[in-house]
Structure 1
Amino acid sequence: MTLTQEVRRRRIVEAAIDCLARDGWHATTLAAVAAEAGISRGLISYHFAGRDDLHRAVLESVAETIFGAGSEATQARIDAATSARDKLAAYIEGNLRFIAEHRREMAALGQVMPNLRRDDGSARFDDAAEEPIIAGTALLFEHGLATGEFREIDPRTTAYALRRCIDGAAVKIVADPGFDIDAYARELTALFLRGVQA
Protein backbone atom coordinates (compact mmCIF):
# COMPACT_ATOMS: atom_id res chain seq x y z
CA MET A 1 0.00 0.00 0.00
CA THR A 2 1.38 3.39 -0.98
CA LEU A 3 1.60 6.31 1.44
CA THR A 4 -1.22 8.06 -0.44
CA GLN A 5 -3.44 5.00 -0.13
CA GLU A 6 -2.62 4.67 3.57
CA VAL A 7 -3.44 8.34 4.18
CA ARG A 8 -6.72 8.04 2.30
CA ARG A 9 -7.64 4.84 4.14
CA ARG A 10 -6.89 6.56 7.45
CA ARG A 11 -9.07 9.54 6.44
CA ILE A 12 -11.97 7.19 5.68
CA VAL A 13 -11.62 5.48 9.05
CA GLU A 14 -11.50 8.84 10.85
CA ALA A 15 -14.62 9.96 8.98
CA ALA A 16 -16.39 6.75 9.99
CA ILE A 17 -15.43 7.34 13.63
CA ASP A 18 -16.87 10.87 13.42
CA CYS A 19 -20.11 9.58 11.88
CA LEU A 20 -20.48 6.77 14.41
CA ALA A 21 -19.82 9.09 17.34
CA ARG A 22 -22.20 11.76 16.09
CA ASP A 23 -24.93 9.89 14.20
CA GLY A 24 -24.89 6.30 15.46
CA TRP A 25 -24.61 2.87 13.87
CA HIS A 26 -27.61 2.90 11.54
CA ALA A 27 -26.90 6.36 10.10
CA THR A 28 -23.25 5.56 9.41
CA THR A 29 -23.66 4.34 5.86
CA LEU A 30 -20.89 4.25 3.27
CA ALA A 31 -22.49 7.26 1.61
CA ALA A 32 -22.48 9.19 4.89
CA VAL A 33 -18.84 8.31 5.51
CA ALA A 34 -17.91 9.34 1.96
CA ALA A 35 -19.62 12.70 2.46
CA GLU A 36 -17.85 13.17 5.81
CA ALA A 37 -14.48 12.36 4.23
CA GLY A 38 -15.14 14.51 1.16
CA ILE A 39 -14.62 11.63 -1.29
CA SER A 40 -16.74 9.47 -3.56
CA ARG A 41 -18.43 6.35 -2.24
CA GLY A 42 -16.59 4.37 -4.90
CA LEU A 43 -13.29 5.35 -3.36
CA ILE A 44 -14.37 3.74 -0.08
CA SER A 45 -15.11 0.53 -1.99
CA TYR A 46 -11.55 0.60 -3.32
CA HIS A 47 -10.19 0.50 0.23
CA PHE A 48 -12.84 -1.55 2.05
CA ALA A 49 -14.85 -4.61 1.02
CA GLY A 50 -18.01 -3.16 2.53
CA ARG A 51 -19.56 -1.59 5.59
CA ASP A 52 -18.55 -4.42 7.93
CA ASP A 53 -14.97 -4.27 6.70
CA LEU A 54 -14.90 -0.53 7.37
CA HIS A 55 -16.40 -1.00 10.83
CA ARG A 56 -13.76 -3.63 11.63
CA ALA A 57 -11.09 -1.10 10.64
CA VAL A 58 -12.76 1.47 12.89
CA LEU A 59 -12.70 -1.02 15.73
CA GLU A 60 -9.00 -1.74 15.18
CA SER A 61 -8.20 1.97 15.13
CA VAL A 62 -10.23 2.77 18.24
CA ALA A 63 -8.96 -0.30 20.06
CA GLU A 64 -5.40 0.76 19.29
CA THR A 65 -6.11 4.16 20.85
CA ILE A 66 -8.25 3.02 23.75
CA PHE A 67 -6.71 -0.31 24.67
CA GLY A 68 -3.21 0.35 23.40
CA ALA A 69 -2.34 3.91 24.32
CA GLY A 70 -4.81 3.92 27.21
CA SER A 71 -3.35 0.76 28.72
CA GLU A 72 0.20 2.05 28.39
CA ALA A 73 -0.60 5.36 30.08
CA THR A 74 -2.53 3.70 32.89
CA GLN A 75 0.07 0.98 33.37
CA ALA A 76 2.80 3.59 33.80
CA ARG A 77 0.77 5.16 36.61
CA ILE A 78 0.21 1.77 38.24
CA ASP A 79 3.89 0.82 37.99
CA ALA A 80 4.91 4.11 39.62
CA ALA A 81 2.66 3.44 42.62
CA THR A 82 4.23 1.56 45.54
CA SER A 83 1.27 0.24 47.55
CA ALA A 84 -1.63 -1.93 46.41
CA ARG A 85 -4.02 0.86 47.43
CA ASP A 86 -2.15 3.39 45.31
CA LYS A 87 -2.00 0.97 42.38
CA LEU A 88 -5.77 0.47 42.55
CA ALA A 89 -6.34 4.23 42.74
CA ALA A 90 -4.02 4.75 39.76
CA TYR A 91 -5.94 2.12 37.79
CA ILE A 92 -9.32 3.69 38.45
CA GLU A 93 -8.23 7.29 37.95
CA GLY A 94 -6.10 6.45 34.90
CA ASN A 95 -8.93 4.62 33.15
CA LEU A 96 -11.47 7.35 33.83
CA ARG A 97 -9.10 10.15 32.84
CA PHE A 98 -8.39 8.41 29.55
CA ILE A 99 -12.13 7.98 28.90
CA ALA A 100 -12.65 11.70 29.56
CA GLU A 101 -9.93 12.60 27.06
CA HIS A 102 -11.31 10.30 24.34
CA ARG A 103 -15.07 10.90 24.28
CA ARG A 104 -15.23 10.67 20.48
CA GLU A 105 -13.53 7.28 20.37
CA MET A 106 -15.64 6.01 23.29
CA ALA A 107 -18.81 7.07 21.47
CA ALA A 108 -17.73 5.22 18.31
CA LEU A 109 -16.73 2.16 20.31
CA GLY A 110 -20.12 2.18 22.01
CA GLN A 111 -21.76 1.95 18.59
CA VAL A 112 -19.48 -0.68 17.09
CA MET A 113 -19.11 -3.17 19.94
CA PRO A 114 -22.76 -4.22 20.34
CA ASN A 115 -23.47 -4.18 16.59
CA LEU A 116 -20.46 -5.73 14.87
CA ARG A 117 -21.11 -9.37 13.95
CA ARG A 118 -19.08 -12.39 12.94
CA ASP A 119 -19.72 -14.10 9.61
CA ASP A 120 -22.13 -16.52 11.32
CA GLY A 121 -24.20 -13.61 12.68
CA SER A 122 -23.10 -13.97 16.30
CA ALA A 123 -21.90 -10.97 18.27
CA ARG A 124 -18.20 -10.31 17.84
CA PHE A 125 -17.96 -9.20 21.48
CA ASP A 126 -19.04 -11.54 24.24
CA ASP A 127 -17.82 -12.59 27.67
CA ALA A 128 -14.77 -14.30 26.19
CA ALA A 129 -13.67 -11.06 24.51
CA GLU A 130 -13.69 -9.27 27.86
CA GLU A 131 -11.77 -11.99 29.69
CA PRO A 132 -8.27 -10.46 29.32
CA ILE A 133 -9.49 -7.15 30.79
CA ILE A 134 -11.16 -8.83 33.76
CA ALA A 135 -8.13 -11.06 34.36
CA GLY A 136 -5.77 -8.08 34.26
CA THR A 137 -7.93 -6.09 36.67
CA ALA A 138 -8.16 -9.06 39.03
CA LEU A 139 -4.36 -9.03 39.34
CA LEU A 140 -4.61 -5.69 41.17
CA PHE A 141 -6.86 -7.23 43.79
CA GLU A 142 -4.71 -10.36 44.02
CA HIS A 143 -1.72 -8.12 44.69
CA GLY A 144 -3.58 -6.36 47.50
CA LEU A 145 -4.48 -9.71 49.04
CA ALA A 146 -0.86 -10.86 48.83
CA THR A 147 0.43 -7.72 50.57
CA GLY A 148 -2.27 -7.91 53.24
CA GLU A 149 -3.64 -4.47 52.33
CA PHE A 150 -6.99 -5.85 51.12
CA ARG A 151 -9.51 -7.87 53.06
CA GLU A 152 -10.51 -11.35 51.89
CA ILE A 153 -12.31 -10.74 48.59
CA ASP A 154 -12.91 -12.63 45.37
CA PRO A 155 -10.54 -10.85 42.95
CA ARG A 156 -12.48 -11.77 39.80
CA THR A 157 -15.87 -10.77 41.16
CA THR A 158 -14.46 -7.49 42.45
CA ALA A 159 -12.67 -6.90 39.14
CA TYR A 160 -15.91 -7.48 37.26
CA ALA A 161 -17.76 -4.99 39.49
CA LEU A 162 -15.06 -2.37 39.00
CA ARG A 163 -15.04 -2.83 35.22
CA ARG A 164 -18.83 -2.35 35.13
CA CYS A 165 -18.39 0.94 36.97
CA ILE A 166 -15.65 2.11 34.59
CA ASP A 167 -17.49 0.96 31.46
CA GLY A 168 -20.66 2.61 32.75
CA ALA A 169 -18.79 5.90 33.00
CA ALA A 170 -17.78 5.54 29.35
CA VAL A 171 -21.45 5.26 28.38
CA LYS A 172 -22.49 8.14 30.65
CA ILE A 173 -19.81 10.55 29.44
CA VAL A 174 -21.01 10.08 25.86
CA ALA A 175 -24.69 10.50 26.74
CA ASP A 176 -24.19 13.45 29.10
CA PRO A 177 -21.60 16.09 28.10
CA GLY A 178 -21.99 17.70 31.53
CA PHE A 179 -21.09 14.53 33.40
CA ASP A 180 -18.40 15.33 36.00
CA ILE A 181 -16.04 12.42 35.50
CA ASP A 182 -13.49 13.88 37.91
CA ALA A 183 -16.03 13.78 40.74
CA TYR A 184 -17.03 10.29 39.62
CA ALA A 185 -13.38 9.18 39.70
CA ARG A 186 -12.95 10.51 43.25
CA GLU A 187 -16.10 8.79 44.52
CA LEU A 188 -15.40 5.51 42.76
CA THR A 189 -11.83 5.43 44.03
CA ALA A 190 -12.93 6.15 47.60
CA LEU A 191 -15.69 3.56 47.38
CA PHE A 192 -13.42 0.75 46.20
CA LEU A 193 -10.54 1.62 48.50
CA ARG A 194 -12.85 1.58 51.52
CA GLY A 195 -14.59 -1.55 50.26
CA VAL A 196 -11.45 -3.66 49.91
CA GLN A 197 -9.33 -2.38 52.80
CA ALA A 198 -8.21 -4.95 55.35
Structure 2
Amino acid sequence: MGRTFTESGRRAQIVRAAIEVVAELGYAKASFSRIAKQAGLSSTGMISYHFAGKDDLMHEVVAEVTRVTGAFMAPRIEAAEGARARLRAFIESNVELLALWPGHLKALIEVLPNLGGDDPATVGYQASMHLLMEQQEQAVRAAQEAGEFREFDARLMLVALRGAIDAVVMRWVGDQDFDVAGAGRELADIFDRATRAEP
Protein backbone atom coordinates (compact mmCIF):
# COMPACT_ATOMS: atom_id res chain seq x y z
CA MET A 1 0.00 0.00 0.00
CA GLY A 2 1.42 3.37 -1.02
CA ARG A 3 1.93 6.34 1.26
CA THR A 4 -0.63 9.12 1.41
CA PHE A 5 0.25 12.61 0.21
CA THR A 6 0.45 13.74 3.85
CA GLU A 7 2.75 10.86 4.81
CA SER A 8 5.04 11.54 1.84
CA GLY A 9 5.14 15.23 2.72
CA ARG A 10 6.02 14.46 6.35
CA ARG A 11 8.80 12.08 5.32
CA ALA A 12 10.22 14.72 2.98
CA GLN A 13 10.07 17.30 5.79
CA ILE A 14 12.00 14.97 8.11
CA VAL A 15 14.61 14.18 5.45
CA ARG A 16 15.15 17.90 4.76
CA ALA A 17 15.61 18.51 8.47
CA ALA A 18 18.03 15.58 8.73
CA ILE A 19 20.11 16.98 5.87
CA GLU A 20 20.25 20.38 7.57
CA VAL A 21 21.22 18.93 10.96
CA VAL A 22 23.87 16.56 9.59
CA ALA A 23 25.34 19.35 7.47
CA GLU A 24 25.52 21.71 10.44
CA LEU A 25 26.42 19.40 13.32
CA GLY A 26 27.83 16.25 11.72
CA TYR A 27 26.57 12.68 11.66
CA ALA A 28 27.36 11.84 15.30
CA LYS A 29 25.34 14.76 16.70
CA ALA A 30 22.38 14.28 14.37
CA SER A 31 20.04 12.80 16.97
CA PHE A 32 16.33 12.29 16.41
CA SER A 33 15.64 15.02 19.00
CA ARG A 34 17.73 17.55 17.07
CA ILE A 35 16.15 16.51 13.78
CA ALA A 36 12.65 16.72 15.26
CA LYS A 37 13.37 20.24 16.54
CA GLN A 38 14.71 21.28 13.13
CA ALA A 39 11.60 19.86 11.44
CA GLY A 40 9.30 21.67 13.87
CA LEU A 41 7.95 18.43 15.34
CA SER A 42 6.82 18.22 18.95
CA SER A 43 8.49 14.85 19.56
CA THR A 44 10.69 12.21 17.94
CA GLY A 45 7.71 9.87 17.63
CA MET A 46 6.86 11.13 14.17
CA ILE A 47 10.37 10.29 12.97
CA SER A 48 10.16 6.80 14.48
CA TYR A 49 6.77 6.32 12.78
CA HIS A 50 8.25 7.01 9.34
CA PHE A 51 11.75 5.56 9.74
CA ALA A 52 12.90 2.32 11.38
CA GLY A 53 15.98 3.97 12.86
CA LYS A 54 18.79 6.39 12.18
CA ASP A 55 20.31 4.24 9.41
CA ASP A 56 16.95 4.05 7.65
CA LEU A 57 16.65 7.84 7.75
CA MET A 58 20.23 8.28 6.56
CA HIS A 59 19.55 5.94 3.64
CA GLU A 60 16.83 8.33 2.56
CA VAL A 61 19.22 11.28 3.01
CA VAL A 62 21.64 9.62 0.55
CA ALA A 63 18.77 8.90 -1.87
CA GLU A 64 17.51 12.50 -1.66
CA VAL A 65 20.96 14.00 -2.27
CA THR A 66 21.39 11.68 -5.26
CA ARG A 67 17.99 12.75 -6.65
CA VAL A 68 18.69 16.45 -6.21
CA THR A 69 22.14 16.35 -7.78
CA GLY A 70 20.95 14.22 -10.70
CA ALA A 71 17.96 16.48 -11.36
CA PHE A 72 20.24 19.52 -11.42
CA MET A 73 23.08 18.12 -13.52
CA ALA A 74 21.34 15.90 -16.08
CA PRO A 75 19.42 18.62 -18.00
CA ARG A 76 22.54 20.79 -18.28
CA ILE A 77 24.65 17.95 -19.61
CA GLU A 78 21.93 16.78 -22.02
CA ALA A 79 21.43 20.31 -23.38
CA ALA A 80 25.13 20.67 -24.27
CA GLU A 81 26.04 19.98 -27.89
CA GLY A 82 29.16 17.96 -28.57
CA ALA A 83 31.52 16.04 -26.30
CA ARG A 84 33.58 19.07 -25.29
CA ALA A 85 30.49 21.02 -24.25
CA ARG A 86 29.09 18.04 -22.35
CA LEU A 87 32.37 17.60 -20.48
CA ARG A 88 32.33 21.29 -19.53
CA ALA A 89 28.68 21.08 -18.44
CA PHE A 90 29.44 18.01 -16.31
CA ILE A 91 32.33 19.69 -14.51
CA GLU A 92 30.73 23.11 -14.03
CA SER A 93 27.36 21.75 -12.90
CA ASN A 94 29.07 19.30 -10.53
CA VAL A 95 31.03 22.09 -8.87
CA GLU A 96 28.08 24.51 -8.97
CA LEU A 97 26.18 22.14 -6.68
CA LEU A 98 28.46 23.30 -3.87
CA ALA A 99 27.02 26.80 -4.07
CA LEU A 100 23.40 25.81 -4.71
CA TRP A 101 23.04 22.81 -2.40
CA PRO A 102 25.81 23.16 0.20
CA GLY A 103 23.93 21.32 2.94
CA HIS A 104 23.16 18.36 0.72
CA LEU A 105 26.78 17.75 -0.19
CA LYS A 106 28.04 18.28 3.35
CA ALA A 107 25.47 15.78 4.56
CA LEU A 108 26.52 13.22 1.96
CA ILE A 109 30.19 13.62 2.94
CA GLU A 110 29.19 13.01 6.58
CA VAL A 111 26.74 10.16 6.07
CA LEU A 112 28.47 7.77 3.67
CA PRO A 113 31.59 7.05 5.78
CA ASN A 114 29.46 6.59 8.90
CA LEU A 115 27.12 4.06 7.34
CA GLY A 116 30.02 1.73 6.58
CA GLY A 117 31.27 0.13 3.40
CA ASP A 118 28.85 -2.81 3.46
CA ASP A 119 25.75 -0.76 4.22
CA PRO A 120 23.12 -1.02 1.44
CA ALA A 121 23.02 2.77 0.95
CA THR A 122 26.79 2.94 0.63
CA VAL A 123 26.90 -0.08 -1.66
CA GLY A 124 24.09 1.39 -3.77
CA TYR A 125 25.79 4.77 -4.03
CA GLN A 126 29.09 3.16 -4.99
CA ALA A 127 27.32 1.00 -7.56
CA SER A 128 25.68 4.07 -9.11
CA MET A 129 29.06 5.83 -9.23
CA HIS A 130 30.59 2.75 -10.88
CA LEU A 131 27.81 2.67 -13.48
CA LEU A 132 28.27 6.39 -14.12
CA MET A 133 32.00 5.87 -14.61
CA GLU A 134 31.35 3.10 -17.15
CA GLN A 135 28.86 5.27 -19.05
CA GLN A 136 31.28 8.19 -19.06
CA GLU A 137 34.10 5.94 -20.27
CA GLN A 138 31.95 4.78 -23.18
CA ALA A 139 31.07 8.40 -24.01
CA VAL A 140 34.74 9.42 -23.94
CA ARG A 141 35.72 6.57 -26.26
CA ALA A 142 32.91 7.49 -28.65
CA ALA A 143 34.18 11.09 -28.67
CA GLN A 144 37.69 9.84 -29.39
CA GLU A 145 36.43 7.75 -32.30
CA ALA A 146 34.53 10.79 -33.61
CA GLY A 147 37.69 12.89 -33.44
CA GLU A 148 36.38 15.30 -30.77
CA PHE A 149 38.82 14.05 -28.14
CA ARG A 150 42.47 13.11 -28.64
CA GLU A 151 43.78 9.63 -27.85
CA PHE A 152 44.34 8.97 -24.13
CA ASP A 153 43.44 6.38 -21.49
CA ALA A 154 39.74 7.14 -20.94
CA ARG A 155 39.49 5.52 -17.51
CA LEU A 156 42.64 7.25 -16.26
CA MET A 157 41.37 10.64 -17.44
CA LEU A 158 38.02 10.12 -15.71
CA VAL A 159 39.70 9.05 -12.48
CA ALA A 160 41.83 12.21 -12.65
CA LEU A 161 38.70 14.29 -13.27
CA ARG A 162 36.85 12.71 -10.34
CA GLY A 163 39.85 13.31 -8.10
CA ALA A 164 40.05 16.95 -9.20
CA ILE A 165 36.35 17.54 -8.48
CA ASP A 166 36.68 15.84 -5.09
CA ALA A 167 39.67 18.08 -4.31
CA VAL A 168 37.57 21.15 -5.09
CA VAL A 169 34.85 19.82 -2.77
CA MET A 170 37.33 19.31 0.09
CA ARG A 171 38.82 22.77 -0.47
CA TRP A 172 35.32 24.23 -0.26
CA VAL A 173 34.53 22.27 2.92
CA GLY A 174 37.51 23.94 4.59
CA ASP A 175 36.96 27.40 3.09
CA GLN A 176 33.38 28.60 2.65
CA ASP A 177 34.62 31.75 0.87
CA PHE A 178 36.24 29.65 -1.86
CA ASP A 179 35.10 30.77 -5.35
CA VAL A 180 33.46 27.54 -6.48
CA ALA A 181 32.07 28.99 -9.73
CA GLY A 182 35.53 30.19 -10.71
CA ALA A 183 37.01 26.84 -9.74
CA GLY A 184 34.45 25.05 -11.91
CA ARG A 185 35.30 27.19 -14.94
CA GLU A 186 39.05 26.77 -14.42
CA LEU A 187 38.71 23.02 -13.95
CA ALA A 188 36.61 22.81 -17.12
CA ASP A 189 39.29 24.75 -19.01
CA ILE A 190 42.02 22.42 -17.74
CA PHE A 191 40.23 19.24 -18.78
CA ASP A 192 39.11 20.75 -22.09
CA ARG A 193 42.76 21.38 -22.95
CA ALA A 194 43.71 17.92 -21.70
CA THR A 195 41.11 16.04 -23.77
CA ARG A 196 40.39 17.97 -26.96
CA ALA A 197 41.74 16.82 -30.30
CA GLU A 198 44.68 18.77 -31.65
CA PRO A 199 43.57 21.50 -34.13
TM class, shorter-chain normalised? 0.7 to 0.9
Query: Per-residue deviation at 1:58?
Result: 1.1
In 2: Cα distance, 1:115 partner to 1:63 partner: 17
Q: Identify if the C-alpha distance between structure 1 residues 2 and 87 changes in structure 2 by more than 3 Å, giving closer, same or farther.
A: closer
The aligned counterpart of 1:20 is 22
Shift of 1:55: 0.6
Structure 1 15/186 Cα, relative in aligned 2: closer, same or farther at 3 Å?
same
Whole-angstrom distance in 1 between the partners of 2:11 and 2:121: 26
Is there any run of 5+ residues in structure 1 with no aligned partner, and where?
none
Aligned to 1:186: 185
- Match of 2:12? 10
How far apart are 1:143 and its partner, in Å? 2.9
**Matched residue type, 1:43:** M
- Give how far 1:54 is off: 0.7
CA distance in 1, matches of 2:108, 2:143: 31
Aligned to 2:105: 106
AA paired with 2:15?
V
Secondary structure at the aligned position of 1:22 is classed as: helix
1:174 aligns with 2:173: yes
Q: Which amino acid aligns with 1:97?
A: E
The runs of 5 or more residues in structure 2 that have no matched partner are none
Alignment partner, residue 122 of structure 2: 124
Kindly indicate whether the alpha-carbon contact (under 8 Å) linking 1:30 and 1:44 is maintained by their aligned counterparts in 2: yes
**RMSD, aligned CA:** 2.3
The change in CA–CA distance for 1:121 and 1:188 in structure 2 (over 3 A counts) is closer
* Structure 1 partner of 2:44: 41
Shift of 1:33: 0.8
Q: Deviations over 1:16-45 (max 9, x none)?
A: 010011111101011211121122012211
Is the CA contact (8 Å cut-off) linking 2:62 and 2:108 kept in structure 1?
yes
TM-score w.r.t. the length of structure 2 is 0.85
1:87, distance to aligned residue in structure 2 (A): 2.6
Instruction: Say if 1:100 and 1:173, in contact at 8 Å, map to a contact too.
Output: no
Q: Decide which of 66, 69, 72 is 1:70's aligned counterpart.
A: 72
Q: CA deviation at 1:105?
A: 0.9
**Count of residue correspondences:** 193
The 4+ residue runs of structure 1 with deviation greater than 3 A are 120-123, 125-129
Residue 12 of structure 1 contacts residue 37 of structure 1 at CA under 8 Å; is this kept in 2? yes
**TM-score, scaled to structure 1:** 0.86
Secondary structure, counterpart of 1:75 in structure 2: helix
Identity of aligned residues (%): 35
Match of 1:32?
Answer: 34
